[in-house]
Amino acid sequence: MVIAVALLCSGCVKIGMPEKDYLMANAKYSELQKKLENETKKMSSMPNSDLVKLCTCYTKLKNYQKLFECTGKLDERISQSNKMSYKYNFLTGCRGDTAPQDISLQPYILRSEAFIDLGDYNNALQNAQKAYDLLEKMQWSYCDKALGFKWDIRQRQRILGLLALIHALKGDTREALYYADLLGKSDIGIVSYGAIKKEREISLAKAYMALGKYDKVLEYKNAFMDALESFALFILGESPGDQNIATFINLPRDFVLAKANFETGKTAVAREEYDKLLQNPYTKDNGEIYWPILYDRGRISQKEGNRDQARDYYKQSIGVVESQRATIHTEANKIGFVGNKQEVYHQMVDCLLTDKRDSEGFEYVERAKSRALVDLLASKRDFASRGDETIDASVQEMAHIESETQGFNVAALKPQEREQKKTRGIEIKQQIRNKDPELYSLVAVSTPSAAEIQSGIGDGETLLEYYYFKDSLYAFIVTNQTVKSVKLDGNHLAEDIRQLRKSLENPQSREYAIWSAKLYQRLIQPVEQDIKTRNIMIVPHGILHYLPFSVLNNGKNYLIETHDISYLPSASVLQFLRKKGKAQKTGTALILGNPDLNDPRYDLKYAEQEALTVAGKFPKPTVLLRKDASKEAFRKLGNRYEVIHLASHGTFESDSPLDSGLLLAKKEGDDGFLRVSDLYSMRLNADLVTLSACETGLGKINSGDDIVGLSRGFLYAGSSSIVASLWKVDDLATSDLMADFYSNLKHKDKREALRAAQLSGLAKYQHPFYWASFQLTGKAD
């Protein structure tokens, strides 16, 4: 039994232990990954035990693309055989392993942990729940329940801990406490009590930290501190006194204690503890801990009335966050004490605007939105590089460097090596920035100054940008001369928008007028005296992306009746849109209508007629209908046309925005689904893309409430502007509106043309359901 327990501990010596098991037990994941990949080139040829180890390596090293591929192979393997063979052991009758004999739970657990890292809590919960459901039906083997291993107990604790943590991160306190209570009361037996109890305390520590139960942290301080230290020792497999211990164990432990004191009102004690942490020479080496230490120290300064000092700490904290291309995610994040990076941006903005530093506040709002975009695209590297192979190579090299200098891999680097790689990473980013600034905006947080944004605003335009965080709401009114902020009422804003959208679903009801007027009073009336121009560029945020501003009513007129309205995903994209200049009018148009989706329910009755009507507005149209309206055709032909019109169904996956897209006809070799992620790898030269589909303009609030949907994807792919809808549209009314819109384009710019078409719809149909869903995003001229 003693030997069996020892095999489960980190830092164990290699006594008759297979090398791969030894590497696994000592958390030497990089070394183990290389060994496994060198031994067996294909995952499909690996034995179950090696495949589980390889998937675990990808999890620990944050290689998510390979992890999901690996867990997919595990799923296939489990469908054939869910067992790993145990060899005879003189003590227990079984050979100890780093995973249970029955591996059915492993892919769900590993995926759940990965999705937590990626901030995708819905998918994390889905996988953890599947593991829990399967757990209840498991028939554990003798070896799984053998002395010293107790995989039946350990797997149950691991899954309960995941469920508690995920619900805590989702803000579902009741469910989180339910699973934490189950975990705390779980039967761990007598044999191997100490090791299993320690694992349980680790899981409870993570959940309580994520729940913000800092009183619990202080109440069980010694147990939690020991659990965190044991956890880090298990991950790193290092000896006390090593630099890695100082960086990865002592710092998180001391930070947890400082934060617990701060959050429970012991500000003076916390300030002293944070200052000691900032004086620690190793603090800067731990990006996961460094930025929240700076952030909390800023909060203390702000609480004490020293806003100048608070701003300086916030600025440093944001600098640390933005110095890394990808989201900061190491095991420390799973413990739950890091929090949301958007909090530091919000505090910085609030601090600046309190001191009437509106231009700086506006810049940080834009940086917050860029941060959210970068976080979402962190795992996507195959951006279209405008045909420059050297940029492709640079992006790949940058990804490799970041992989080596973040998370657990950094522990294997000597300080000099780490600094050399970081320096090289900075050089590569600069090369990308010089060659393709728009691509750089996707692989690094890079926003122009307020003055640079203002230079892109015309004399007859006003940019109206909103910033929404929790119940805090600001509006920025920006012209080419001035920047002004106005604090608005953000309480229950989401509910008011939901009520308006719900009321718009019923064309027979006028209930929408109540919510339209209420939202006008909240969002437009406080700023209308500062809007001196007819043309407005609106930059929504968070739930405001769901709002059709055109339907807001002051009691006499809809906003669309008094202003020409266009939208932007962020003010920073102006610099790219203006650079494209006036498009050369070629009269070419690619029109895809009513794709054949092999299901009569998806047929759009008027879409084919709409496609033919739109084609009649252009001298050189290419019309593709039914089976010809395919994703393959779009990819081959899309970059040849000035105008692209897609009359098809569209969907928005709120939990996974990069998987939103348009449903096109299938061809052999593809599923016909044009995803947002596809657009970031395409090249278009279109002046206008029209998405005459359902729900294509909808977006989901991701990290920082920033929307990354089809509109942003098409803008990056090369379109100057996009017309898309906010809800499922009546296809007859859409056909009428599109015919008017394209006719108007002959003598109006796009913003004016859409407005005129919508006013015609208002005169014909009255109810906004029929005419208000379409929005123009991007260049208006």
Band of pLDDT at residue 237, cut at 50, 70 and 90: very low
Question: How far is residue 420's CA from residue 414's CA, in Å, rounded to a whole number?
Answer: 10
Q: Average pLDDT, stretch 326-344?
A: 58
In this prediction, residue 232 carries a pLDDT of 52
Band of pLDDT at residue 11, cut at 50, 70 and 90: very low
* Most confident among 31-35, 171-175, 750-754 (mean pLDDT): 750-754
- Structural domains for the chain: 2-211 (1.25.40.10), 283-443 (no CATH), 450-574 (3.30.420), 583-778 (3.40.50.1460)
Percentage of the chain exceeding pLDDT 70: 77
* CA angle at 767 for the pair 762 and 772, rounded to the nearest 5°: 65
Q: Which of 180-184, 291-295, 378-382 has the lowest mean pLDDT?
A: 378-382
Q: What is the identity of the amino acid at 23? A: L
Q: Average pLDDT, stretch 223-249?
A: 52
User: Look-up: residue for tokens 């739950």?
Assistant: 336
What digits encode the pLDDT tens for the residues 753-774?
999 999 999 999 999 999 999 9
Q: Are 468 and 346 in contact (CB under 8 A)?
A: no
Task: Give every strand in the sheet of 661-663, ordered side by side.
Answer: 649-651, 661-663, 673-675
Average pLDDT, the chain: 80
Residue 403 exposed, middle or buried by CB count within 10 Å (0-12, 13-18, 19+): middle
In this prediction, residue 390 carries a pLDDT of 76
In this prediction, residue 494 carries a pLDDT of 87
User: What tokens were used for 145?
Assistant: 């329940």
Q: Which of 3-17, 390-404, 536-550, 729-743 has the lowest mean pLDDT?
A: 3-17
Q: Average pLDDT, stretch 472-478?
A: 96
In this prediction, residue 133 carries a pLDDT of 93
End-to-end CA distance of the chain: 77
Band of pLDDT at residue 248, cut at 50, 70 and 90: low
Q: Above 50 in pLDDT, residue 1?
A: no
Q: Average pLDDT, stretch 514-518?
A: 96
Band of pLDDT at residue 781, cut at 50, 70 and 90: confident
In this prediction, residue 756 carries a pLDDT of 96
Q: Which of 33-37, 119-123, 291-295 has the lowest mean pLDDT?
A: 119-123
Q: Above 50 in pLDDT, residue 589?
A: yes
What digits encode the pLDDT tens for the residues 672-687?
888 888 888 888 889 9
Q: Residue 394: enclosing H or E segment and its boundaries? A: helix 389-404
In this prediction, residue 655 carries a pLDDT of 62
Q: Above 90 in pLDDT, residue 229?
A: no
What digits encode the pLDDT tens for the residues 182-208?
888 877 665 545 567 777 776 787 788
Q: What is the identity of the amino acid at 175? A: E
Q: Are 383 and 442 in contact (CB under 8 A)?
A: yes
In this prediction, residue 489 carries a pLDDT of 92
* Most confident among 222-236, 252-266, 386-400 (mean pLDDT): 252-266
Band of pLDDT at residue 169, cut at 50, 70 and 90: confident
Band of pLDDT at residue 88, cut at 50, 70 and 90: very low
Greater confidence, 126 or 209?
126
User: What tokens were used for 279?
Assistant: 């004086």
Q: Above 50 in pLDDT, residue 704?
A: no
Q: Average pLDDT, stretch 263-278?
A: 95
Greater confidence, 683 or 395?
683
In this prediction, residue 641 carries a pLDDT of 92
Cβ-based neighbours of 204, under 8 Å, separated by 6 or more: 161, 164, 180, 183, 184, 224, 227
SS3 label, residue 126: helix
**Helices (H) and strands (E) in the chain — how many of each?**
34, 14
In this prediction, residue 448 carries a pLDDT of 86
What digits encode the pLDDT tens for the residues 107-142?
999 999 888 877 778 889 999 999 999 988 877 776
In this prediction, residue 129 carries a pLDDT of 95
Q: pTM higher than 0.95, yes or no?
A: no
Residue 559 exposed, middle or buried by CB count within 10 Å (0-12, 13-18, 19+): buried
In this prediction, residue 721 carries a pLDDT of 93
Greater confidence, 263 or 409?
263
Question: How far is residue 584's CA from residue 778's CA, in Å, rounded to a whole number?
Answer: 17
In this prediction, residue 77 carries a pLDDT of 83
Q: Above 60 in pLDDT, residue 698?
A: no
b/e for 363-373, b at 16 or more Cβ within 10 A? bbbbbbbbbbb
In this prediction, residue 241 carries a pLDDT of 42
Nearest to 191 by CA among 153, 224, 229, 155: 153
Q: Average pLDDT, stretch 295-320?
A: 95
In this prediction, residue 769 carries a pLDDT of 93
Greater confidence, 658 or 57?
57
